[in-house]
Amino acid sequence: MRRPLVAGNWKMHGTRASVAELIEGLRRQSLSGDAEVAVFPSCLHIAQVVEGLAEVPVVIGGQDCAVEPQQGALTGEVAASQLREAGCAMVLVGHSERRLSLGESDEVVVRKFVAAQACGLIPVLCVGETLAQREAGETLVVVGRQLAAIVDAQGVGVFARAVVAYEPVWAIGTGLTASPEQAQEVHAAIRARLAAQDADVAGKVRILYGGSVKAANAAELFGMPDIDGGLVGGASLNADEFGAICRAAGN
Ligand code: 13P
């Protein structure tokens, strides 16, 4: 039985004031505990969120980490060990906004994934195809390649301490959501690829869906057999909306 996870990716949003409001809003939510809840603030706001949500069962994560696990001379980067020390338990790796806008390769994503685990963080590996790739019928090839980068380098066993997030690029921030059936097809394919090497690991790994998840479509998506929760962008900036999504995952 996989415990659902709902994760809010705040991206490059927030001021100290708006983050304080969001913290207050999250503290007011009744979260059943059936679903695990996580938020990924910008690095600047991690300390504020760790402090503000100290008594609330919400996991804090970073949005990215350096390829080098330990602190050192790497201007502008944040080490996984620093995230851990700041109170993070998870970190996103390979988000499409970084792969596409910043040219992050599979090779770099693998190094970040390894750095995260080396420091005791759970990496949330983001995978997903662009619209052009979907229209060319390449969805499963693209996602398979992104997954294989980790499996080939590190073995399937590392997914015992990781989360996968399927985020079709065309559904991110566009209001277009993959239908539950479209998402389920990819989630099942991801699980089957892992199961081909280790059925136990594949059966336990949580695979989140991301891309325009909101309270109105969450229950339907989370009702699919291989969708174990969501990675939520825009809707996670509204505490009531995010709370409703978390409750949909707990039911
Ligand atoms: P939206 O929910 O805003 O589409 O963003 C999804 C996402 O990229 C989460 O990482």
Please give the structure tokens belonging to residue 60.
């804090």
Q: What is the predicted pLDDT for the residue at 32? A: 81
Q: Each residue of 240-249: pLDDT tens digit?
A: 999 999 999 9
Q: Each residue of 180-197: pLDDT tens digit?
A: 999 999 999 999 999 999
Q: Atom 9 (ligand 1): residue with closest C-alpha?
A: 233
- Catalytic residue selected from 129, 167, 187, 241: 167
Please give the structure tokens belonging to residue 236.
């996670």
Name which CATH class applies to 5-250.
alpha beta
Instruction: Find out whether the beta carbon of 109 lies less than 6 Å from any atom of ligand 1.
Output: no
Give me the DSSP letters along 215-241: HHHHHHHHTSTT--EEEESGGGGSHHH
Q: Annotated catalytic, 95?
A: yes
By C-alpha distance, which of 144, 207, 158, 190 is closest to 2?
207
Can you give the residue ranges of every domain in the chain?
5-250
Q: What is the predicted pLDDT for the residue at 207? A: 98
Give the residue-averaged pLDDT of 42-53: 98
Q: Each residue of 141-179: pLDDT tens digit?
A: 999 999 999 999 999 999 999 999 999 999 999 988 899
Beta bridge partners of 8: 39, 232
Q: Annotated catalytic, 167?
A: yes
Give me the DSSP letters along 173-217: SSS----HHHHHHHHHHHHHHHHTT-HHHHHH-EEEEESS--HHH
CB atoms within 10 A of CB 146: 22
By C-alpha distance, which of 147, 95, 160, 88 is closest to 119?
88
Instruction: Find out whether the beta carbon of 233 lies less than 6 Å from any atom of ligand 1.
Output: yes
Instruction: Find out whether the beta carbon of 232 lies less than 6 Å from any atom of ligand 1.
Output: yes
Instruction: Find out whether the beta carbon of 172 lies less than 6 Å from any atom of ligand 1.
Output: yes
Q: How far apart are CA 12 and CA 170, in angstroms?
A: 19
Helix (H, G, I), strand (E, B) or coil at 68: coil
pTM above 0.95, yes or no: yes
Give the residue-averaged pLDDT of 16-28: 98
Instruction: With cut-offs at 50, 70 and 90, classify the pLDDT of residue 31.
Output: confident
Burial class (CB in 10 A: 0-12, 13-18, 19+), 189: middle
Give the residue-averaged pLDDT of 207-218: 97
